[in-house]
Amino acid sequence: MILPGQQEPTGCDTFVALGAATASGQTIFAKNSDRPPEEAQPLELHERTTYPAGGVLKTHFVDLPQVATTHRNVGSRPYWCWGYEIGFNEHQVVIGNEALQSKLRPPGPTLIGMDLVRLGLERGATAAEAVDAMTGIVSAHGQGNFQHPGGQLTYDNSFIVADPKNAYVVETAGREWAVRKVKTQTGISNVLSIATDWDAVSPGAEAAARKLGWDGAGRLSFADAFTEADRFSGSGFMRRTRSCAVLDRHEGNTDAASMMALLSDHANGDADRSGFVTDIDPGRGICMHAEGGAGLSNTAASLVAELCDDGSRLPIYWTSMYSPCLGIFLPTFIEGDLPRALSFGDVGQSDYSVWWLFRRLVRAVLKAPERRVADVRSEWAPLQAAMVKTAYSVARDGRVMLEQGRPEDAKTMLTEYMVENLYSVVLVAATLLESYAGDRVPLASRPMTEIFLN
């Protein structure tokens, strides 16, 4: 959903490679959240919580019955809404959504896709459990493109829901839905992609398709029955073509670095077999930039999730704020506490928000891209390499501490590691911003324990 006066999002891309398709043998998930360029998207953690019987959950528009227990989860949340664009929980379930347009129009306010991302994370201890929770809620309460009296633009949604062993694509149209289990790897974008290859479909999907003109012959093509526009053209189709081609080319060798490169890629479907394109081309590619014209979205947040199903280490969630091609991915651990500065961000610019710091830095870089793009990337490269080098040993040490029954020691170690990394990144970003724009960054001048620790 978009606030009044804002343009509908024209982006978001999500992909997953199961262990059979990755170099490590572990599942890797990735997503870019593309949103209006001034819409802050802080990262926040919600603890595992137990609720009394009969409780009510208030999402953005709809009240739902609350469950007995919600899982600890971390999500990237547009500042105005309850739900998440991307997130992960304590059980290594990770979810991201995409905007779709179907032919169905709910009669009034319903759930929005970001609500469903958070609901899946709160209620699913496995990807399958999350899918069941999400599809059950869609059937009972609806979601989709409705006319809201406040003027907000809304849409249907698709999702990738993954855990260390399995992944699913879920696509919706009003109260109807289809689910396809991922075999090895896949990507989704702003187009319906589940045709006749679904593994499960909502009870009312076939009847709803008949009302829209399906003749009932053969197996229902969910995408063909419900898509509002040509699903084989446009930006979403081209970006999905690109992501799937890259995943195919890297099959068996996909790793966190290649997923980060794909999230930072500026090619479109015309270049689906090329190497990664690093030259910024606003309005094109998986990494989106709003500078290309009015109404364009900008990548607001990114996630690469390296899951683990063999107990050798903790999962590593690489998180990035604003344009990933000009930023850095921070190793994040749900077993620790998030640095506070990651969770700041509202309607207006904040001096103590990491999200707004990166928004300001990217704007400054793109005022003189011929010099500053290479400059900022060269600053991030050694920091990123250092984090990659240390993150896996930290993940292994954290797992050992948990197995030894030392959760508080693990929490302290992981929290301090995340804080130290973020503080180093903020100092570099602040120095660059001051040199480019003369802007002072109060966040960089405060004691690390005052702003970054909980």
Secondary structure percentages of the chain, helix, strand, coil, to 5: 35, 20, 45
The set of residues, in sequence order, having a beta carbon less than 8 Å from that of 355 and lying 6+ positions away, is 40, 41, 42, 300, 301, 321, 322, 342, 344, 345
Distance set, CA 95 to CA 28, 135, 363, 375 (Å): 12, 14, 29, 34
The set of residues, in sequence order, having a beta carbon less than 8 Å from that of 393 and lying 6+ positions away, is none
Backbone angles phi and psi of 373, in degrees to 5: -60, -50
CA–CA gap between residue 97 and residue 159 (Å, rounded): 4
Closest by Cα among 150, 38, 144, 149 to 99: 144
CA–CA gap between residue 182 and residue 418 (Å, rounded): 32
**Strand order across the 298-306 sheet:** 185-188, 13-17, 28-35, 298-306, 316-321, 330-332
Q: Decide: residue 277, CB within 10 A, 0-12 exposed, 13-18 middle, 19+ buried.
A: buried
Angle subtended at Cα 389 by Cα 340 and Cα 77, rounded to the nearest 5 degrees = 30
Cβ atoms 312, 399 nearer than 8 A: yes
Residue of 12, 81, 287, 308 with catalytic role: 12
The set of residues, in sequence order, having a beta carbon less than 8 Å from that of 118 and lying 6+ positions away, is 73, 75, 77, 82, 83, 84, 87
CA–CA gap between residue 370 and residue 407 (Å, rounded): 48
Cβ-based neighbour number of residue 401 at 10 Å? 20
Angle subtended at Cα 61 by Cα 55 and Cα 64, rounded to the nearest 5 degrees = 25
Q: Where are the alpha helices (DSSP H) in 104-251?
A: 113-123, 127-141, 205-211, 222-226, 234-249
Question: Is 12 assigned a catalytic role?
Answer: yes
- For the annotated catalytic residues, the residue numbers are 12
